[in-house]
Structure 1
């Protein structure tokens, strides 16, 4: 993996702020020629630093204002149960993130839903029906204090 220099980091910061910048706008912001900027962006993408681009959507406008985190404990921690759980959770559009964690439970699931009725349905039809689920604890978010996908560069 190539070491990032100051300009690479500046490009990554600018693209995190606004992934819709044109190459000319980006070049202006990082004080490079458009050709040099385009080459750096291609390299950063090819080397895996830039994974893609997407729009950030409003959960409220799309009737997904309820954010929940669900701790999931499995009945057995064997590779086949882990694999079955991972495959099943990937099929749910309500699940935004799912992480296998170390500690007192096995997975932390982040989901966005329209409200408490949708959550109850999600819990019974998605989470509790997943392979190997023994116990869950849900935390409904009352206020999002900070929401960011930006990495420090």
Structure 2
């Protein structure tokens, strides 16, 4: 059975603070399957494509400076309702509005450094996965997937 995929990115502040493992753990504990992971220092061209919908916003230059300030970790997670549940795990965009128990609710307080990005729709997830992982993602079966979804 094909499972939905979502794109999650740990932003420079999350990498700098050593939170990548904690973020991965939240998705694994929930039962999602890691299909791709990549550490890179994203350039302006890649980020401009990713954030094209924000290009006209007054904060865009600050966003670009922040996102190029250090490495990011891009990931593809696979599982039932991965986009919606992934965003729930991350918490609200403004961490001050995020519930305790969410990644942003537990680890940050500043909307300008909110640790992570998560796809907001299946359509955008597919676009982001293609952008950040042009070589594709890993497909594999876990024995537990067959037990649950068959």
Q: TM-score range by the shorter chain?
A: 0.3 to 0.5
Q: Indicate the structure with greater helix content.
A: 2
What TM-score do you get using the length of structure 1 for normalisation?
Answer: 0.38
Q: If you compute each CA radius of gyration, which structure gives the higher value, 1 or 2?
A: 1
Give the number of the structure with larger relative contact order, counting CA–CA contacts within 8 Å between residues 6 or more apart.
Answer: 2
